[in-house]
A and B are shown apart, each in its own frame.
Chain A
């Protein structure tokens, strides 16, 4: 493959991977922005989305729906996965995070961790220990740009990610509830003094953030062909690195961070031994947290909790 094609191919892969990381990172950043808590359970929410996707898809396949109504199938699969995880997200918030809003940081982190363990084991017990195969409905057809190859499946995923991110941006900047979310994230007490019901705002955040993660989960399942109860862990780390890199709490930052991490991973895989790939992610994460915890687009992160 000549140089131009190679570059284009890497670019395609990077944007593809970056889109997925961005969607997951958005979930982290929105939750952290509003309640300053790292939702350790987010990786499990991503996995849950993948599982619901496969369940819905399987059910639809049983009744022969997929071939006849392909577009509707995709809508149902994504829609139901996102809806389910939105409910799950709120449930977790109500049970494990809301009661600890005034408690110490340690308690909140441990509760989140506990929920993460609970969910991943719950999925293991209910869905089995081994991989579950995703029906390959996206297919392998695609087209070529010079010698670089892009499948229709990749195009779909990239476009859907873009649509979701634009929708989120519109919601957060143009709707009353979206602005209330931003206000709550910036100054919770002042938001309350203006009459904003922060419990509701936080609930909505826990619906949207996880839903985006769920969409990413379905995408990963559709593209890579399988889902496992513990696949959330490594995606969680990478998405978290992306969110931090871009500036935790910043929505454009999450997207930027996701693209950068996607790019780094693609470039690494192209040139360097792949078994050390994950170590690199961790190292990048630690370096970012050490040298610039506020990230690229983030605000200055204060040392203490005000």
Chain B
């Protein structure tokens, strides 16, 4: 074991103890020795694992085993990559479609929540991933969608389907309003301003009692309904089938999710998508090349907002209730976490991250409290260790590592 590694271990353990023991040990007035030292012990245990990992790596054992396994691994990878993506997608679709038939109501609800966050993640991905604009107030568009539907339905009796395009339009308008001041801003300021807008919208929804009932929220919206011609006693007439059951709502959300995935993929591969990449990589160069940056950036905000509005309307309809507290800043952070952890710009990554981040804490109930703690740590850790995310979008991997002095290929020559 290298002496320097061991020294680092001791230093880290002591500093972490110094930081953790007071906070954890004093939930009240007196020092809770057992609790404090258990938690510190746990952290030290993780450090021990880190130390072991480093020692093993130094001894070269990883490289040797890797060399032994390499041919086997390469054949497996080759076989997998030959397998057409279509089959994966088909398998996934079948699994998701069959899911409600096998699961209980609670799990179906979790599934719906997963899908909602996945769509939100994909929508935010348009702004952050495709256009490269850091939006910390994205949840505001979700709120706009929810409240738009609620108000349209409660005051004017407008049906869910009719209010969708109206909601998308309102969302897009809000997107432009929020996007406009940020057009000339740098990354940090952009983040703060979007966060500010998100909070302003939430506070307005919370305080403007006349319009939104304030903190009480709005209650009693109709569920989405399907109207189709059918036979009744009087002959041919319209039958209204209200989507009240969880199964029905699940499939509706599933359709929305699929449409979103298709939409985002189309955008990514379109001229607009490529223009966004140009803006993301070098805005000045893009502008000089004739790319209409202003209009494209606003479009990104508007489209992201539109997707969020749709889900927002669905969310309000599903619960028949909406409330400003559903749209706090932390929710924006969760959606951002999903995008970042999954891989900015990567559709499969975001889907995976959404499932992990939403479903796993539900399955392991005891972990609920630690969910956000883990999210925060994971986000920071991801940026340091693997900024491309879990399933990197192929373009992005190069981008995040472009500031490395050496391209990975060069290292093979011995520098």
Q: Would you call A13 an interface residue if the criterion is a C-beta within 8 Å of the partner chain's C-beta atoms?
A: no
- Residues of B within 8 Å of A11, CB to CB, are none
Instruction: Identify the stretch in B63-71, B117-125, B196-204, B224-232 within 8 Å (CB) of chain A at 4 or more residues.
Output: B196-204
**Among listed A2-10, A153-161, A177-185, A273-281, interface-contacting one:** A273-281
Given contacts A38-B191, A105-B188, A109-B191, contact A278 B380 (CB under 8 A): no
Q: Is B24 an interface residue (CB 8 A)?
A: yes
| Most chain B C-beta atoms within 10 Å of own C-beta, residue among A118, A237, A283 | A118
Which residues in A have their C-beta under 8 angstroms from that of B378? Answer: 114
In the assembled complex, A30 has its CB within 8 A of some CB on chain B: no
- Cβ of B46 under 8 Å from chain A: no
Q: When the two chains form their complex, are residues A52 and B22 in contact, meaning their CB atoms are under 8 A apart?
A: yes
A114 & B383 in contact (Cβ 8 Å cutoff): yes
Q: How far is the CA of A135 from the CA of B186 in the complex (A)?
A: 43
Please, which residues of chain B bring their CB within 8 A of the CB of A190? none
Q: Within 8 Å CB of B220, what residues of A?
A: none
Contact with A along B366-389 (1 / 0, CB 8 A): 000110110111111111100100
| CB-contact partner of B329 in A103, A233, A278, under 8 A | A233
Chain A residues, CB < 8 A from B403: 102-104
Q: Tell me, in angstroms, the Cα distance from A181 to B134 when the chains sit together.
A: 30
- List B246-298 residues whose CB lies under 8 Å from chain A: 284
Q: Is the CB of A279 within 8 A of B336?
A: no
Check A285 against B192 for contact (C-beta < 8 Å): yes
A36 to B188, CA, bound (A): 9
Tell me if B15 and A91 are in contact (CB < 8 A).
yes
Instruction: Please give, as numbers and ranges, the residues of chain B lying within 8 Å of A237 by CB-CB distance.
Output: 196, 199
Size band of the interface chain B makes with A:
35 or more
- A100 at the A/B interface (Cβ < 8 Å)? yes
Are B23 and A48 closer than 8 Å at their CB atoms? yes
Contacts known (A286-B181, A286-B196, A293-B189); A100 close to B372, Cβ less than 8 A: no
Partner pick for A59 among B29, B132, B184, CB 8 A cutoff: B29
Contact (A88, B19) CB under 8 Å given A113-B336, A119-B376, A286-B181: yes
Is A125's CB under 8 angstroms from B369's CB? yes
**A64: CB under 8 A from chain B?**
no
Interchain CB contact under 8 A, A293 and B203: no
**Do B383 and A107 touch across chains, with their CB atoms under 8 A apart?**
yes
> Is B380 touching A55 in the complex (CB atoms < 8 A)?
no
Q: Which residues does chain A contribute within 8 Å of B23, judged by CB atoms?
A: 48, 51-52, 55, 122-123, 126-127
Let me know if A275 and B26 touch, CB within 8 A. no
- B contact patch SS: helix
A110 within 8 A of B: yes
Q: Does B30 contact A (CB under 8 A)?
A: yes
Residues of B within 8 Å of A110, CB to CB, are 336, 340, 379-380, 382-383
Q: Are A275 and B193 in contact (CB under 8 A)?
A: no
A279 touches B207 (CB 8 A): yes
List 20 contacting pairs A-B, 8 Å CB cutoff, sorted by A.
A62-B30, A100-B384, A103-B400, A105-B186, A108-B383, A110-B383, A113-B336, A115-B380, A117-B330, A118-B373, A118-B380, A121-B373, A125-B373, A126-B27, A237-B196, A240-B192, A282-B199, A286-B193, A289-B192, A305-B186
- In addition to A106-B187, A114-B379, A289-B193, 12 A-B residue pairs with Cβ atoms within 8 Å of each other are A37-B188, A58-B29, A103-B387, A106-B128, A106-B134, A107-B400, A111-B379, A118-B376, A118-B380, A122-B23, A276-B203, A285-B196
Is the CB of B333 closer than 8 A to any CB of chain A? yes
Report A-chain residues with C-beta under 8 Å of the C-beta of B196: 237, 282-283, 285-286
Q: Once the chains are docked, how many angstroms separate the CA of A37 from the CA of B186? A: 11
Chain A interface residues (CB < 8 Å from chain B): 36-38, 48, 51-52, 55, 58-59, 61-62, 84, 87-88, 91, 95-96, 99-100, 102-123, 125-128, 233, 237, 240, 275-276, 278-279, 282-283, 285-286, 289-290, 293, 301, 303-305
Distance of A305 Cα from B380 Cα, bound (Å):
22
Q: Which residue of B lies closest to A115 (CB)?
A: B380
CA distance A276 to B204 in the complex (A): 8
Bound CA–CA A96/B184 (angstroms): 28
- Please pick, from B185, B203, B376, the residue contacting A114 in the complex, using a CB distance under 8 A: B376
The residues of B that contact A88 with a CB separation of less than 8 Å are 19
B197, B379, B404: which has the most chain A beta carbons within 10 Å? B379
The CA of A38 and the CA of B248, in the complex, are separated in Å by 45
Task: Give, as a whole number of angstroms, the nearest-CB distance from A214 to chain B.
Answer: 13
- With A125-B369, A125-B370, A233-B329 as given contacts, are A55 and B22 in contact (CB-CB < 8 Å)? yes
Give complex CA distance A44, B169 in Å.
38
A13 to B344, CA, bound (A): 46
Q: Which residue of A lies closest to B385 (CB)?
A: A99
Confirm or deny: B18 has a beta carbon within 8 angstroms of a beta carbon on chain A: yes
With most chain A CB atoms within 10 A of its CB, the pick from B19, B134, B378, B384 is B384
Q: Which residues of A contact B340 (CB under 8 A)?
A: 110
A54's closest neighbor in chain B, by CB? B26
Chain A residue nearest to B378 in the complex (CB): A114
Taking CB atoms, residues of chain A closer than 8 Å to B337 are 114
Contact B22 A282 (CB under 8 A): no
- Shortest B274–chain A CB gap in Å is 20
The answer to whether A96 touches B384, judged by C-beta atoms less than 8 angstroms apart, is: yes
Give the chain A neighbours of B134 by CB distance below 8 A.
106, 109
* Cα–Cα distance between A298 and B15 once the two chains are bound (Å): 37
**A95 touches which of B200, B380, B387 (Cβ 8 Å):** B380
Partner of B188, one of A38, A52, A120, A285: A38
Q: How far is the CA of A128 from the CA of B24 in the complex (A)?
A: 10
Minimum Cβ distance to chain B for residue A45 (Å): 12
Q: Contact check: which of A113, A279, A290 meets B379 at CB < 8 Å?
A: A113
Asked whether B380 lies within 8 Å of A293 as measured between CB atoms, the reply is no
In the assembled complex, which residues on chain A have CB atoms less than 8 Å from the CB atom of B18? 84, 87
When chains A and B are docked, how far (Å) is the Cα of A55 from the Cα of B26? 6
Q: Which residue of B128, B378, B383 has the most chain A CB atoms within 10 A of its CB atom?
A: B383
Residues of B within 8 A of A116 (CB): 376
B177 to chain A, nearest CB (A): 11
Complex alpha-carbon distance, A303 and B282, angstroms:
12
The docked-state distance in angstroms from the alpha carbon of A119 to that of B376 is 8
Q: How far is the CA of A100 from the CA of B207 in the complex (A)?
A: 40
Q: Which single residue of chain A is at the shortest CB-CB distance from B178?
A: A286
